Amino acid sequence: MSDSNTSYKKRGKDYPIKGGLRTLPGKYYHSQEIYGEELEKIFYQKWMLAGRGEEIPEAGDYKLFDIEDESVIITRTKSGDIAANFNVCRHRGTRMCVEAKGHFESENIQCPYHAWTYGLDGKLIASPMMQSLESFDKEAHHLHQANVHEWGGFIFVNLAQDPISFEDQMGTLIEKFKDWKLSELKIAHTIKYELECNWKLILQNYQECYHCPGVHPLLSKLTPFQSAIHDCNKGAVMGGYMKLEPGVKSMTMDGEPAGTPVCDVQGDDMRRVYYYSVFPNMLLTPHPDFVLFHHIMPRGNGAITNTCHWLYHPDVMADPDHKERLQSAVEFWDLTNKEDWAVCEQMQQGTKSRRFTRGTYSGQEDMLYALDQELLRVLGHKSPE
Ligand code: FES
Ligand SMILES: [Fe+2]
């Protein structure tokens, strides 16, 4: 019997597959058990993108960060800091907040069940009639805290009891893209996509342009697919850049700029579009004149919500010409995104087949192999033979 990992069958004859790094087996996109492991070892352990600080500008503003069993309330506190607390009442465990975002008018978080009330920072401030219990210790009933870190205007959270430091996970990212002054940028446009594919397929798709000539005719005119250069492959952060064709200024429908250069961006960076995947749930794409990022949240092993944001400097957004140029960048990336989503969803379906065991990477997909190895390392799985 032929082994489809090492050979393929054609007209009844086995042909060996020579060379090429092998993809993950199909079960990594479909197994409920592996998805459960990913939740425990990745999504409940690693730093994850949760949004932008500008989404909760005022004290009392909040947004939820929900992933499977867990829900975290991210609030702007009275001191202006950002707090992240588990959305779990310390009385009897009720999920307190159900709206995805909003504002706590009373500047506190109140459980709807028996009215235990917490400050915006999660400190228990009222617990009706509990004072009659002599041993009741209010201090010990602070909401369970999640870890929170701001970088470049992005909010990251970590749900682990004993988290890896943000610097250890994201080291390479911290010094990168300083010229874009990411913390000064604001969201100019957002599109939310609901996709029927495993979260890893989107990260993989983002890290190779082998598919570009066939899938993205317009993108390929602006940045030739052979121009992809990988300049970073360090655990959670990996990526590189593609060069703009001579005469092309940015990734827009007509190749003209979508705005003036972002902050201090100059020199070689004016001719490049960077593609950085920040494992496990962020894709960051700095252009000379704007920044695009994708926020990926899994919804089971075969679906994700992928929210795409376009960031601009507020001065550029104030420019009356800005709207039309922004629209060109939005239109270009919406078109390109949809081209990608279609092949990712088709790959999700195809890899379910019993005939799919593993595929073979091309020489232009070495970064995908690196992503696979990072996944296997974090899951503690041996590399499949
Ligand atoms: S469960 Fe929250 S106050 Fe009772
Ligand atoms: Fe693509």
Atom number, ligand 1, closest to the C-alpha of residue 111:
2
Same domain, 121 and 208: no
Ligand 2 geometric centre to CA of 317 (Å): 27
Same domain, 158 and 288: no
Select from 87, 94, 110 the residue to mutate for testing ligand 1; criterion: most ligand atoms less than 8 Å from CB. Answer: 94
Domain CATH number, residue 277: 3.90.380.10
Please check whether residue 345 lies inside any domain of the structure: yes
Enumerate residues 6+ apart whose C-beta is below 8 A from 291.
Answer: 180, 182, 185, 262, 284, 285, 310, 311, 312
Atom number, ligand 1, closest to the C-alpha of residue 115:
3
- Rounded-to-integer distance, Cα 382 and Cα 24, Å: 11
- Which residue puts its alpha carbon closest to atom 4 of ligand 1? 114
Same domain, 66 and 212: no
Same domain, 129 and 205: no
123 Cβ inside 6 Å of ligand 1: no
Atom number, ligand 1, closest to the C-alpha of residue 96:
2
- Rounded-to-integer distance, Cα 366 and Cα 33, Å: 27
- Rounded-to-integer distance, Cα 60 and Cα 80, Å: 10
Same domain, 221 and 307: yes
Taking the CA atoms of 149, 369, 36 and 294 in sequence, report the sign of the dihedral they define. positive
Note the ligand closest to the C-alpha atom of 127.
Answer: 1
- Rounded-to-integer distance, Cα 326 and Cα 183, Å: 19
Please check whether residue 335 lies inside any domain of the structure: yes
> Which stretch of DSSP H or E encloses residue 337?
helix 322-350
Same domain, 277 and 358: yes
- Rounded-to-integer distance, Cα 369 and Cα 207, Å: 10
Biggest CA-to-CA distance, the chain: 82
Single pTM value for the model: 0.93
Q: How is residue 112 written in tokens? A: 């709807």
In single-letter form, the type of residue at position 252 comes to T
Same domain, 300 and 262: yes
116 Cβ inside 6 Å of ligand 1: yes
Same domain, 223 and 328: yes
Atom number, ligand 1, closest to the C-alpha of residue 127:
3
- Which residue puts its alpha carbon closest to atom 1 of ligand 1? 92
- Which residue puts its alpha carbon closest to atom 3 of ligand 1? 114
Q: Which three-class secondary structure state does DSSP give residue 284?
A: strand
Ligand 2 geometric centre to CA of 340 (Å): 5
Domain CATH number, residue 140: 2.102.10.10
114 Cβ inside 6 Å of ligand 1: yes
Among 356, 377, 352, smallest CA distance to 23 is for: 356
Q: Which three-class secondary structure state does DSSP give residue 272?
A: strand
pLDDT per residue rounded down to tens, the chain (385 residues) = 344 445 555 555 555 555 679 999 999 999 999 999 999 999 999 999 999 999 999 999 999 999 999 999 999 999 999 999 999 999 999 999 999 999 999 999 999 999 999 999 999 999 988 888 888 999 999 999 999 999 999 999 999 999 999 999 998 899 899 999 999 999 999 999 999 999 999 999 999 999 999 999 999 999 988 888 888 777 789 999 999 999 999 999 999 999 999 999 999 999 999 999 999 999 999 999 999 999 999 999 999 999 999 999 999 999 887 888 999 999 999 999 999 999 999 999 999 999 999 999 998 898 899 899 999 999 999 988 7
- Rounded-to-integer distance, Cα 146 and Cα 351, Å: 36
Ligand 1 geometric centre to CA of 110 (Å): 9
- 45 touches 32 (CB < 8 A): no
Same domain, 155 and 264: no
Structural domain range at position 100: 48-163
Please check whether residue 92 lies inside any domain of the structure: yes
Beta-carbon count within 10 A of 174 CB: 13
Cis? peptide before 280, omega within 30° of 0: yes
